[in-house]
Every structure is written in structure tokens, then in C-alpha cells.
Amino acid sequence: MKEARLLRSLRHPNVGEIYGVALHYSPIILVLEYFSKSLHTHLKQNAGRTTEEERRRFITEAAAGFAYLAENGCIHRDISAKVCKLNDDLVNERACRKREEIDEIFQELKISGFSLCENTKEMHESNNIQIAVKWQAPEVLKGGNFSLKSDVWSFGILMWEVYNDGAEPYAGMTPSVVKSMILEDEYRMPVPQECPEVIAKIMSSCWETYPRKRPCMQAIYLVVRDN
């Protein structure tokens, strides 16, 4: 019910909607907006063919949605390309259009995956949930300290995914190795060479060790929107 209450309170073009709740089932069933594929799947299927304009649209729309969540005190805790969904009409339209016309299509990305989402007013240390290690900030890996700024770290990983055609972060490394390298060696993945300078700077700033040094989601959105 917590997820349902949260989704009912959110209204944004880049956040998935909830249409209803079936209370007479155990567990209860949420009726959510349908999407045919995730951004992760789309990037993998279009590897080598995604244009710079498309990448920037994906990042801008994701930033808009996550900035809205941050403004409403919502810590997502599970940010990745897999929780970003593409509008079903967009997917069908893309399949029917010629490649040279793709850039004219308005992308509509929406955020999903709110099962781990928490409100900052109710947030506390969380050591008993399963997390995707490769997307998490050092303070989360060390002590389960989630915050709006740990979401910013994860958004930096999402940006990396967009510029690597949906590839897995820290390829070939196990979660335990990644955790050790981040906490003990302060390792950071190289920024993709294809990244424009403004995107590269944002990505690097998202991976600052200390949360207070990372930008807020609202600032990230404004920069990617205006550049």
C-alpha cells in the first residue's frame, strides 16, 4: 500500500502512473501504466545506432522525472536504465518510421520501479534490503545510508549506461569486487569517450565520494535541459 499511496501523490509527464489498486487479492495488485520495454532494452537493441540527440533526450527526460521526485522528497533507491520505461506508442511509432525521420519523434521516457522508494521524512538506515551494488553510492555500500544524493550517484551510472548502449557497469566484476574497489580504492569507471564535455562533467560530479559535493537532481536537470 505504501507504493500505491506514493504513486497516487505523484503527477509528472516523466513518472509512470497508477490507475488503481485491487485490495481483494493477497498480495494486493497495483494497476500501473503499461510500457512495452525499458530504456535498457531499447539501448541494447539499438546499440551503435542511438544518436547523440536521442541520448540527450533520454537523459533530460530521466533527469526531469528524478528531479520532480527529489523536489517531493522521494528517494528512489533503485535508479538504473531498467526502471526507465519508454512509451508504448513511441516504440510502435519508431518501428514504423524510417531511420532518417527518427530525430523528429518526441521521446517520452517515464520512471517506474517504486517498490524501494522512500520519503525523506520517513527515511532511515536500510541494511536489510537487496540492492543493485553496481548502481549504489559508497555511503550506501558501507552503511545503507540512502539519501537524495545517493540517488544522484545512481543517476550518474544511468548516464553511463545511456552512453554505453545499455552495457552493464563494471563489466566482468562481481558485486563484491565492485564494492571493495569503490570503498577501499575509490575506483570510478572511466567516462565514455563519446560523452560531450557537459555530460562528462555531470557524470564525474555525480560520483564524488562525499554526498555534499554532488549536485542536486534539480541542478542536473537544468544543465542537461539548457545545453
Among residues 78, 89, 165, 185, the one annotated as catalytic is: 78
106-131 burial, b at 16+ Cβ within 10 Å, e below that, comes to ebbbbbbbbebbbeeeebeebeeeeb
User: Cα separation of 40 and 35, whole Å?
Assistant: 13
105: number of Cβ within 10 Å: 13
Q: What is the largest CA-CA distance in the chain?
A: 53
User: Cα separation of 68 and 150, whole Å?
Assistant: 16
Residue 78 falls in the annotated catalytic set: yes
Residue 157 parent element (H or E): helix 148-162
Which residues are identified as catalytic? 78
